[in-house]
Chain A
């Protein structure tokens, strides 16, 4: 570990993992925590339990705001464990001088998103801190959900299984980047921020066997695939060309030197199913997003690694994103 914490330690990639392992797991270690799933499964598999803190700049961005993000983020972590979001807490840390009108706008958008999930906020906390102590507003939400589909896990992938993305990738990351100070890109992009429980419910109801499910938040699709490959000790072979990326996201990536698979999403997930359910899964996924598609298959070629195959016959490993995401220089 480095002596001080840097922005890179919050990137959802390698440094982030190091921070969690070397500081938090070291002291908090227990069987439930060390499974490191999106949400903890407790009470003999009946409940899923998770928490998340939200800071985003700007607070309002095309297609969403920090409030929507705070509900989606936590509810999606529950949904990714096959759980129906039920109860939530909401804690806010507010910087002195924050406009009340903006706060209410944010709370309203939380309420709207809670309704989509069928969840309610049952406890909360507010703190106001002197100017400069936080950047405008931080929100923490904790959620409990009732598990409707058991056995979803990052460590159950096997040779021959099929992996889908639920829609085109990298939209949230690209939207936020384009909206950030210092970049000044004009774009029509909107974040993919959305509650995923309704989509997961559809998958469960369709009767397909769900092996693994994860929303591709910080660290993007690369982080999810790498975690799965490691947890299950398999190789995930990706057909690079098949990864769906919106033109505008691709353009921003080209300009700034990013890869769409490394960018954060807030309403996009990765799904692994057995080969037998491939067609059915695609049909269900495409009912919600036409861009959903099969991107990879599980093999045993390079265990623990994610392999990208190009259309001209070359291959390379796709690693966890590292460092702070910075635009290239020239």
Chain B
């Protein structure tokens, strides 16, 4: 058998002619739409694809995107970022986290700033790297500040599993994992305080494929059934995204409301059961998790089960961790953007006071945040 190369995974999915062909199909179908449709891409990775590849330039005027809250860094409330900062400043602590997290400013600054002040802050691509760091620094405590949706949770669970089974005594966890379906429900049910109504503009969802690789497409069953919103689980390459969009438009034209999977090459209904088991072994739902800009969302966050509390940095360092909720800057509209009620350019500080180099709101921090994507790629739309 010929060896599978990385390029096989994306080469054909960026083909110009295929993308143009989908654009044509969407344009034809969209003529039959009675009213414009707004598609929320839940995941920041999709926002990034959509903006990077300029897809809105290819879509008819009556097919719009609403950029959802699926960016793990963007939804972290400031008080939790402060947790990371405070933990990194503790003596003999090495704080380890993933990529962009080190850039987000909390109320004292970002982890990058903490590092500049002498804290030992490291980023890893895979949480398993923590084991090597812990072995090389046996006199220090490694705290893994875990963030992310269903996609990164299994990696943290595997690390917890290893730490417990190999009796590694100097790795602790600060868990900030969140889940997608609960926040989608929150967005549908959300009340706009400005007009005091429950009207949201979301007509359909583009579901992130990598979340369903783990959790299966089953997590979206209820959206077409109970909430009247079609969901198409879609991959991250531009051809995937265009096909996903065309499948949604077709559902509206044909008056269907279903859960469909565009990313059939990997996603099935049940997902990765082994990963789900591992997650359920170590984690349980938090009754409330506060999302930046969205407030408390029931059942949307995970924490270590009580029986593993000796690994829980949130409990061990409780006395030094701030608890007060911190609101965003008054002018920042990240909350409205995450709810899909505003576009980044509608913010008065977008691109002026708030830029990727000096982010005020969280959506500007991560490359997957809607504001950062608009800032970087959106200037020609």
A residues with CB within 8 A of B: 2, 4-8, 14-15, 18, 181-184, 241, 247, 250-251, 254-257, 310-317, 319, 322-324, 326-330
Contact = CB atoms under 8 A, between A and B. Distances in A.
Nearest to A305: B379
Interface stretch (B95-103, B166-174, B263-271, B283-291): B95-103
Contact of A328 (B117, B122, B368, B380): B368
B152 interface: yes
B330 to A, nearest CB: 22
Interface in B1-32: 5-7, 9-10, 16-17, 19-20, 23
A4 B125 CA distance: 27
B353 to A, nearest CB: 14
A228 to B, nearest CB: 19
B65 interface: no
Contacts of B238: 312
Contacts of A328: 45, 99-100, 367-368
Interface centre among B58, B72, B129, B356 (most CB of A within 10 A): B356
Interface of B: 5-7, 9-10, 16-17, 19-20, 23, 45, 51-55, 57-58, 72-73, 98-103, 112-113, 115-117, 122-126, 129, 147-149, 151-152, 210, 238, 356-358, 366-368, 376-377, 379-380
Given A4-B117, A251-B6, A328-B367, A316 B377 contact: yes
A4 to B, nearest CB: 5
Contacts of A324: 102-103, 112
Contact of B103 (A4, A5, A323): A323
Nearest to B126: A184
A182 B148 contact: no
Nearest to B52: A316
Given A322-B356, A324-B112, A330-B151, A247 B7 contact: yes
Contacts of B23: 312
Given A322-B357, A329-B72, A315 B54 contact: yes
Contacts of A241: 16
30 contacts: A7-B116, A18-B357, A184-B125, A247-B7, A250-B7, A254-B6, A254-B9, A310-B53, A312-B16, A312-B19, A312-B20, A313-B58, A314-B53, A314-B54, A314-B55, A316-B379, A317-B379, A326-B99, A327-B123, A328-B100, A329-B98, A329-B99, A329-B100, A329-B148, A329-B152, A329-B368, A330-B72, A330-B148, A330-B149, A330-B152
Contacts of A7: 112, 115-116
Contacts of B103: 323-324, 326
Contacts of B377: 316-317
A184 B116 contact: no
A142 B10 CA distance: 44
Given A182-B124, A323-B103, A311 B129 contact: no
A317 B368 contact: no
B380 A316 contact: yes
Contact of A15 (B20, B101, B357): B357
Contacts of B20: 312-313
A18 B356 CA distance: 14
A185 to B, nearest CB: 8
A240 to B, nearest CB: 10
B5 to A, nearest CB: 7
B6 A247 contact: yes
A2 B16 CA distance: 42
Interface centre among A251, A319, A326 (most CB of B within 10 A): A326
A255 B19 CA distance: 22
Given A312-B16, A329-B101, A330-B151, A323 B357 contact: yes
A5 B377 CA distance: 27
Contact of A257 (B55, B72, B367): B367
Given A317-B379, A317-B380, A326 B102 contact: yes
B149 to A, nearest CB: 7
Nearest to A328: B99
A315 B356 contact: no
A182 B123 contact: yes
Nearest to A13: B357
Contacts of A4: 113, 116-117
Nearest to B73: A329
A313 B368 CA distance: 23
B145 to A, nearest CB: 12
Contacts of A5: 116
Nearest to B379: A317
A9 B104 CA distance: 16
Interface centre among A255, A315, A330 (most CB of B within 10 A): A330
Given A310-B53, A323-B103, 15 more contacts: A4-B116, A7-B112, A182-B129, A183-B125, A247-B5, A251-B7, A256-B125, A315-B54, A315-B380, A316-B379, A316-B380, A323-B356, A326-B123, A327-B125, A329-B99
A257 B20 CA distance: 24
B54 A316 contact: yes
A314 B124 contact: no
Contacts of B115: 6-7
A6 B116 contact: yes
A310 B5 CA distance: 24
Contacts of A247: 5-7
A19 B58 CA distance: 39
B112 A8 contact: yes
Contacts of B73: 329
Contacts of A183: 124-125
B124 A319 contact: no
B124 A310 contact: no
A247 B5 CA distance: 9
Contacts of A254: 6, 9-10
Contacts of B368: 328-329
Nearest to B130: A182
Contacts of A310: 16, 53-54
B369 to A, nearest CB: 12
Contacts of A15: 357
Contacts of B123: 182, 326-327
B132 to A, nearest CB: 8
Contacts of B58: 312-314
Which 6 pairs across A and B sit closest by C-beta, in order of nearness? A314-B54, A311-B16, A251-B6, A330-B151, A312-B19, A326-B99
